[in-house]
Structure 1
Amino acid sequence: MSFQTLESRSIAFAAMCQAAYLVDKIANKGICPDAVAFNASLRSIVRTDSAAPLEIFGGHESLKLGYKTVVAQLDNVDGSRNMQVTKYVAGLIALERKLSANPGSLNLLGERINQVNRQLAHFEIDDSSVLSNLDSIYKDLISNLGPKIQVNGNPSYLQQDHTQHKIRALLLAGVRAAVLWRQVGGKRRQLLLSRKAIVHQTKQNLLRT
């Protein structure tokens, strides 16, 4: 079964936007505004054996925040576009391209994700030890592929280790979504040329939540 469809691309792009939105909120507020979305984004990192995009994220409900973010970013009817989210999504796409061109990093990433899966036999995905592990994976294997994503926010929160771990774990989830987006035929030019079609499909997805 082919997943090279607009629906699949809209799911993967929503997952990218969801991770970027959560990064922005945690960086500025210090807390996660949506635990369901946060956990779904992180779990997608370790779901590497599922081909169906929706299965990777656990269903439409888990991407509700992402769908709303896509509509705000691309439709922008009420001026609700968040330029930080736009910047983070662009950075995730750029990092994914660097990662996909680096077989060594991809192999190491697979090994490190297997370690996280073993860890999940004993801990929940949002446990501090798991977040620390995901943070390390992003720093070791993704961040240095460059250019680095500069996260803006409240310095008093950004200086906290736990906040940093959450943010880097989400950026790793965003790169995972960018990998999927490319696998199902996603291209940057579609965000300009097929904007209306993406928004329409995303609104259809939102009705299923």
Structure 2
Amino acid sequence: MVDTPFQQPQHLTVRQNRVLALAGVFQAAQLTHITAMTGLNRSNQSESFYLEQLIKSSLCIRPLAELPDPSLNTLDFFYGFNDLMLGLKHLESSLSRPFSIHPKSHIPKLPAAKLSTSYAISLLHLEKQIYQNPQFVEIIEQAQQKILKQFSFFDQNYLHPSIIANLAQAYLDTAGQIQPRILVRGHPEAFKDSQHTDRIRASLFTGLQMAHLWRQMGGRSRQLMFGKRKIMKDIHSIARMQYQLIEK
């Protein structure tokens, strides 16, 4: 692999920006999976950090009149590559998994894939249905405005239970109305805790928002089917840029 010259993050290509947005979807899916399997009591600081970054960005992502928009920059919604590192690693891992011996497509069959990967793919499909429905779009925008207006009352804490609950409700009022729903698997006892389920749904909501950003940048399902090598190449380029930023 040939090293690329040092680049500042704002000089990302359209394709690299799209990969970062896609990594946001996979980060949300991975956080959903971790929370469902381990619960809130076992969540660590890094997981909370990654969720907080997704919540910040999801409150700022808005629908656009025309798609795609090549001027969009994923890092306008994040501080840097570190905010999406969990998603980049999970995306790379998902693309590296061996496919079925007799696949119907280049996407691994969901029963054989990781649960979090199946959540990510489901979010990509759900996003389009949600944003084609004006009523759902209005619900999302109202939830964003409500949270941002009340943010000062939540001690400037994006992980405040009230913010998590509002995001969870926005998910229920939109994606929760579409069949089939995303079925999250986890520890049965954990789902009896409302704060636990709210965090799962809030994570899924951020995934929907990142999926929308991905589509705003020209993201399409066929890119996952036929463009796996290009996505992997962009992930590795981003990793090199991150390394060079640290070394600078």
TM (norm. structure 1) is: 0.90
Displacement of 1:203 in angstroms is: 2.1
SS in 2 for 1:186: coil
- Alignment partner for residue 206 of structure 2, among 173, 179, 185? 173
Q: Which amino acid aligns with 2:144?
A: I
What is the CA RMSD across the aligned residues, in angstroms?
2.1
Offset, 1:202: 1.1
- Structure 1 stretches lacking a partner, 5+ long: none
1:65 alignment counterpart? 86
Residue 7, structure 1, aligned to residue 16, structure 2 = yes
Letter in 1 for 2:201: R
Q: Is 1:149 aligned to residue 182 of structure 2?
A: yes
Matched, 1:137 2:158: no
1:39 paired residue number: 52
- Equivalent residue number for residue 191 of structure 1: 224
Match of 2:9 in 1: none
Please tell me the residue identity of whatever aligns with 1:55.
D
Larger-gyration structure (1/2): 2
Residue 36 of structure 1 and its aligned partner are, at CA, apart by 1.6
Q: Provide the aligned length of Structure 1 versus Structure 2.
A: 205
Measure, in 2, the Cα distance between the counterparts of 1:4 and 1:173. 23
Structure 1 residue identity aligned to 2:181:
K
> 1:89 & 1:131 partners in 2: Cα distance?
20
**For residues 233 and 210 of structure 2, what CA distance do their matches in structure 1 show?**
20
Could you give the per-residue CA deviations for residues 103-156 of structure 1, whole angstroms, max 9, x where no partner exists?
121122112210011121222110111111111111112211332100001111
Q: How far apart in 1 are the matches of 2:95 and 2:176?
A: 27
Measured against aligned partners, the alpha-carbon deviations of 1:59-109 in whole angstroms (never above 9, x if no partner) come to 2110010110011100238xxx95211210121012111112101211221
Corresponding residue for 2:129? 98
Instruction: Tell me the distance in 2 between the aligned counterparts of 1:106 and 1:133.
Output: 15
Structure 2 residue runs without a partner (length 5+): 1-11, 63-70, 99-111, 244-248
Matched-pair identity in %: 26
How many angstroms apart in 2 are the aligned matches of 1:140 and 1:192? 30
* Residues 172, 18 of structure 1: alpha-carbon distance in 2 compared, 3 angstrom cutoff: same
